[in-house]
Amino acid sequence: MNGSLPTASPSPLAEPAAWRWPPLLKASAAVHAGAALLALTPGGWPWAAGAVLANHALLTGAGLWPRSQWLGPNVTRLPAASAARGEIAITIDDGPDPEVTPAVLDLLDAAGARATFFCIATRASAHAGLAREIVARGHDVQNHSHAHRHHFSLLGPRGFAAEIGHAQQVLADVTGRPAHCFRAPAGLRNPMLDPVLHRLNLHLVSWTRRGFDTRDADPARVLRRLTSGLAAGDILLLHDGNARRCASGKPVILEVLPALLRRCNEAGLKAVTLEQVLPPRHAAPPRSQG
Provide the residue range defining the domain that includes 249: 80-277
Q: How many domains does the chain fold into?
A: 2
Determine the pLDDT at residue 50. 78
Same domain assignment for residues 197 and 241? yes
Averaged pLDDT for residues 134-159? 96
Where residue 285 falls among pLDDT bands split at 50, 70, 90? low
* Mean pLDDT for all residues in the chain: 89
Instruction: Count the neighbouring beta carbons within 10 Å of the beta carbon of residue 185.
Output: 20
Domain C-terminal end among 64, 96, 118: 64
Residue 109 has pLDDT above 80, yes or no: yes
Among 32-41, 197-206, 258-267, the least confident range: 32-41
Residue 8 has pLDDT above 90, yes or no: no
Where residue 289 falls among pLDDT bands split at 50, 70, 90? very low
Beta bridge partners of 286: none
Domain C-terminal end among 64, 96, 122: 64
Mapped onto helix, strand or coil, the DSSP state of residue 100 is coil
Q: Which residue has the higher pLDDT, 133 or 14?
A: 133
**Spatial contact of 48 and 38, defined as CB atoms under 8 Å apart:** yes
Same domain assignment for residues 37 and 84? no
Same domain assignment for residues 129 and 57? no
Averaged pLDDT for residues 192-211? 97
Where residue 288 falls among pLDDT bands split at 50, 70, 90? very low
Determine the pLDDT at residue 4. 41
User: Hey, CA dihedral for 163, 167, 170, 173, is it positive or negative?
Assistant: negative
- pTM of the predicted protein model: 0.87
Same domain assignment for residues 57 and 86? no
Same domain assignment for residues 37 and 157? no
- The DSSP secondary-structure symbol of 63 reads H
Residue 80, burial from CB neighbour count under 10 angstroms (0-12, 13-18, 19+): exposed
Determine the pLDDT at residue 57. 74
Distance CA 258, CA 106 (A): 10
Same domain assignment for residues 158 and 262? yes
Averaged pLDDT for residues 144-172? 97
Residue 114 has pLDDT above 80, yes or no: yes
Determine the pLDDT at residue 26. 64
Of 20-24, 31-35, 82-86, 279-283, which has the strongest mean pLDDT? 82-86
Averaged pLDDT for residues 166-184? 97
Same domain assignment for residues 120 and 146? yes
**Angle between helical axes of 252-266 and 101-111 (0-180°, round to 10):** 20
Determine the pLDDT at residue 284. 55
Summarize pLDDT for 54-92 with one digit per residue, the tens: 866 775 776 677 889 989 999 999 999 999 999 999 999
Q: Any residues with CB less than 8 A from the CB of 152 and at least 6 apart, and which?
A: 145, 163, 184, 185, 186, 188, 189
Percentage of the residues of the chain whose pLDDT score is greater than 90: 72
Whichever domain contains 92, its CATH number is: 3.20.20.370
Same domain assignment for residues 36 and 129? no
Averaged pLDDT for residues 244-258? 96
